[in-house]
A and B are shown apart, each in its own frame.
Chain A
Amino acid sequence: MTATAVAQHIDLFRERFVKITQEVGRRIVGNEEIVSSTVMSLLAGGHVLLEGIPGVGKTSLVHTLADVLHLKFSRIQFTPDLMPADIVGTNIVQEHHEKGGTFFEFQPGPIFANIVLADEINRATPKTQSALLEAMQDQSVSVGNTTYKLDQPFLVLATQNPLEMEGTYPLPEAQLDRFFFKLKVKYPSEESMHQIVDRTTTTGDISVSRVVDGAQILEMRHVARSVPIAKPVQSYAIRLTLGTHPESPYATPLVKKYVRYGASPRAAQSIVLAGKIQALTRGHAFVSAEDVKAVALPALRHRVLLNFEGEAEQVNADTIVEELLAATRADG
């Protein structure tokens, strides 16, 4: 690969990324940061946990993304009686019409798609949740004695409602750690509300076109991983991760006071990979400390586990991570 080829890869990556976000933005009003972060997770091969109150467009975002990416989309509405087989699929008895007799045939579940929307994931039982999370981690599912590989790209977008906690099963920390990003969908602004109302209460059809397909997504993933990162910048990402641990020398006062466990090494992987994609979206062939800083909050916020004092005082994990970002120097 020559320098010209590298430059072309960067330009193409950037062009496609902008196309995706612009196309999604035609239907989703506001939340540009959420859209770009979701696409970033898709390009990094990670999964996203979307948190927001009902009606802010979480499900619409996932729908739109699937339409734009020309990928197979499925939706699973998580309920307390949802079973693992309802997600991964099951072996069903079939009859041989010609030969006669019966045989077992695997009926794939909704997990066999490129983009899976796990709506209100915390309403299902831990057993069902773990079936999904196993697929997220291994990119494959096991039914009986057979393991089935999932199609690539595979992206799970799980949503959860932070208000209605009655009868829910909060995700365990180990399973939360498997999400690349946790994105908080904010309530739209007044101006955005005007646009939402205008678009959804008129006869106009807001259709989106498919700008990128699965193969191009995989190619973009490969390009993203080619971006070099200098050791001092990587060290910054690692120090940010270590800083979430209360016993770490990089820990801030808030971390020491309110955090029980800090982020796992997966967090550092997420930060670096997301930093590379962030650099490419800016047309850079390198990762800077600013790129790392820009992606650190969604990569760390769900990996910081508060202690009793933090829970009792309802400390926000975002506050802790933001303090950590402000306190950690890029040149340390």
Chain B
Amino acid sequence: MATLSSETPDRRVQDIVAAADQQRRARDARRLLIRLAPLAGGLAVLVAISVRLLRGSSTISLAVLGLLAVAVAAIVFWLGRRRPSTDEIALRVDTDAQLAGELRSAHWFSITGSGDEWISYHLDRAADRAAKVSWRELYPRESGTPAWLMSGVCVVAVVALAVIVPQRQSLVAAGSTAETTTLPGLPPELQAKLDAMLAKMKAGTLQGDDATLADLKNIAKLDPKLQKTIDELMKNKLGQDAQKLKDGKPVDPADKERPSNGGLPEDVRWALEDLAKRLANSNQERQTNDKNPAASDQTGEKGMGSDQASTQQANSTEAQMQLVREASSDASASQMMMGGGGMGGQQSGQQGNNGAQKGAAEANVLAIAQALKKETVEANEDMLGKNVQKEDIRRKTEASKSGMGFTKVAPTATFDKSHATAPPPVPESRRPLLQNYFIRKQ
């Protein structure tokens, strides 16, 4: 308690009131905290459970827990902060300490100030009396052990739900997939790879290229049951993305890193693949017909140059097909791949003596692929009211058809002044009171 004898009495009184008020509000804040902490913990647990059930990210639970903790701490800090004392505060503290109004009165005089001896005496005495009060005992702090225990349990539960349970789930999922998708005759390493990919797909964390997906599809063709499982997973993924687009929410950025054609309808994807194959075949035929003369001219090593050129062309074709597939999924990915494709074209042009023609062909392929991709993406993102204009359907007013009407009814006169009656006579019981009124009593 701030009771320094060197301070003036008015300063002492103000300090005592402020400190006592802080003690009081700290007690109240602690009481509030004891009530709020379990509630906040319970809320965090509910959020964590909901996040788990909805297969959301575990960081949401932890973030909610952190936010609730910060909110509770902010409330407690705000309530428990030290603030300048007022007459109202002084009165409350005075009443709590049963000082019979002395502290309140002294507090007022300490603020207004006066050189009167009576006031100085009053301030001195009030400060001494208030200093003897044990404010800690007057405003005891509750322990609230059960509440703290409950809150701790809630925090542990949230952390467990956010961190431990997902790990176990992924392990269990991987184990169950391995049990159910065993294919006869499949090599063990391929079986393991297949199981891992299926587990990732179910968990929604599969991040792979088209080659991976193609592998998966090729493997899936071996078993109708597996084919059905993969198709369902793909449909679920497509359904989720479509729902997000319908709700106007952006598709999870992580999804963009998932299988490149996962977000496209089947027919569009097939059309794209087919187009890419055709373009590649026509390009290959053209290069084959030319017999690669530029290569032999430029390098002087016909056989070697021809082989290298054909190898580079094959690689380039593969790269182009890959580019088309990737370009169909994402604009940014497409941009990146365009650059890669260009480099590939230059290299093949330098090494395979057919740079100009091949570069032009690749540019055509990329342009078409990009245009198709753009079209596909836009078609996929068509949203009513966003980028699709729909004809307004105006509601027809029914005002002209309304059958309601209003008829003014004049009130009937019920009072006639000419027949007004005299007021009722004074009751006998009230008559003496009326008479007594004029003889006033003291």
Residues of A within 8 A of B (CB): 1-3, 5-7, 51, 122, 160, 162, 165, 170-171, 176, 226-233, 282, 284-291, 302, 308, 311-314, 330-331
Contact = CB atoms under 8 A, between A and B. Distances in A.
B80 interface: no
Given A232-B108, A233-B105, A311-B433, A288 B100 contact: yes
Given A171-B442, A231-B108, A290-B101, 15 more contacts: A6-B118, A170-B442, A228-B105, A228-B116, A233-B101, A284-B100, A284-B102, A285-B122, A285-B125, A286-B106, A302-B442, A311-B440, A312-B430, A312-B433, A313-B433
Interface string B99-135: 0111011101100101011111110111000000000
A165 B440 CA distance: 9
The bracket for how many chain B residues form the interface is 20 to 34
Nearest to A122: B442
A331 B116 contact: no
A285 B121 contact: yes
23 contacts: A2-B117, A3-B121, A6-B121, A7-B121, A162-B441, A162-B442, A170-B439, A170-B440, A228-B105, A228-B109, A228-B114, A228-B119, A228-B122, A231-B112, A233-B101, A284-B100, A286-B101, A288-B101, A289-B101, A302-B442, A312-B430, A312-B437, A314-B433
A58 B439 CA distance: 24
B441 A165 contact: yes
A312 B434 contact: yes
A129 B222 CA distance: 126
Nearest to B88: A331
A165 B436 CA distance: 10
B87 interface: yes
A176 B116 CA distance: 36
B91 interface: yes
Given A284-B100, A288-B102, A330-B91, A176 B442 contact: yes
B442 A230 contact: no
B94 to A, nearest CB: 9
Interface pairs A-B: 9 shortest CB-CB: A288-B101, A230-B108, A286-B105, A230-B105, A6-B121, A312-B433, A3-B121, A1-B117, A285-B122
Interface of B: 87-88, 91-92, 100-102, 104-106, 108-109, 112, 114, 116-122, 124-126, 430, 433-434, 436-437, 439-442
Given A51-B442, A160-B442, A311-B437, A227 B118 contact: yes
B120 A3 contact: yes
Contacts of B124: 3
A9 B92 CA distance: 30
Contacts of A312: 430, 433-434, 437
B442 to A, nearest CB: 5
Contacts of B433: 311-314
A291 B439 CA distance: 36
B441 A3 contact: no
A176 B91 CA distance: 35
B441 to A, nearest CB: 6
A230 B104 contact: yes
Nearest to A3: B121
A94 B430 CA distance: 59
B117 A5 contact: yes
A232 B104 contact: yes
B434 to A, nearest CB: 7
Nearest to A172: B440
A223 B219 CA distance: 109
A155 to B, nearest CB: 20
A5 B104 CA distance: 23
Contacts of B119: 228
Most-contacted residue by chain A among B87, B126, B430 (CB, 10 A): B87
A16 B387 CA distance: 97
Contacts of B108: 230-232
B437 to A, nearest CB: 5
A123 to B, nearest CB: 12
Contacts of A170: 439-442
Most-contacted residue by chain B among A122, A176, A312 (CB, 10 A): A312
Contacts of A1: 117-118
Given A6-B118, A228-B119, A231-B112, A287 B441 contact: no
Contact of A286 (B88, B122, B440): B122
B10 to A, nearest CB: 13
Contacts of B430: 312
Contacts of A232: 87, 91, 104, 108
Most-contacted residue by chain B among A122, A228, A229, A314 (CB, 10 A): A228
Given A288-B101, A311-B436, A228 B441 contact: no
A328 to B, nearest CB: 14
Contact of B117 (A3, A230, A231): A3
A308 B108 CA distance: 43
A230 B109 contact: yes
